[in-house]
Copies of this chain bind each other. A is one copy, B any other.
Amino acid sequence: MIAMERARNVAVLVYEKVDTLDVAGPYHVFGLAGRGGRGFRVYSVGESRQPLNTVTGITLVPKFDFDDCPVPDIVIVPGGPGVHTAINNEKLMTWISSKADSAELVISVCTGAFLLAKAELLEGVKVTTNRRALDQLLELIPASSQLVRNVRYVDNGKIVMSAGVTAGFDAALHVVARLHGRECALEAASILEYEWREEPEAANGQ
């Protein structure tokens, strides 16, 4: 556990056709765990502050753009059908690479894993993604990384990756537990009336 005086900045990346729950799930978990400013300050960040359409049709307005976004301690990279366009967006990929470089933690949700692969963040780590996208991810990862099936999330210390959509809740709860203790995660899960699906095999950080 790393002691920090200030709340950690948690940036949730958003882009056109991002999965709504990939964004909203971890956003809500970190928001609840950070109530009272004690732990986390969560915000969304997009290429611009223009409203964008998530996959469900819910329209979001990013809180910050790439230029005015506070430096994140934790970067959350969600997936969704829009990932196939996002992966070719140079400005977005540059943002991920540079923020991942200075961040304490990078968390992918669902097919957000593809963006971590493209950003070359997966050397020598355990990786996972949406179960329907595992084989596709296999083609994008380096030989040194190990694809893990049938888990809710994997924890490599700096790089944490979740399986599909609601598995992002579990990965976020895991990171909350790792940084602020299990009670804090259980309290957030209780408020959401969510049954945390823990992975006993996940390493407890670095």
Contacts and interface: CB of A to CB of B under 8 A. Distances in A.
Contacts of A4: none
A21 B31 CA distance: 12
A24 interface: yes
Interface in A146-202: 163-167, 169, 191-195, 197
Interface of A is mostly: mixed
The count of identical subunits is 2
Contacts of A60: 58-61
What is the size category of the interface that chain A forms with chain B?
A: 35 or more
A27 B56 contact: yes
Interface of A: 20-21, 23-25, 27-28, 31, 42-44, 51, 55-61, 63, 130-132, 163-167, 169, 191-195, 197
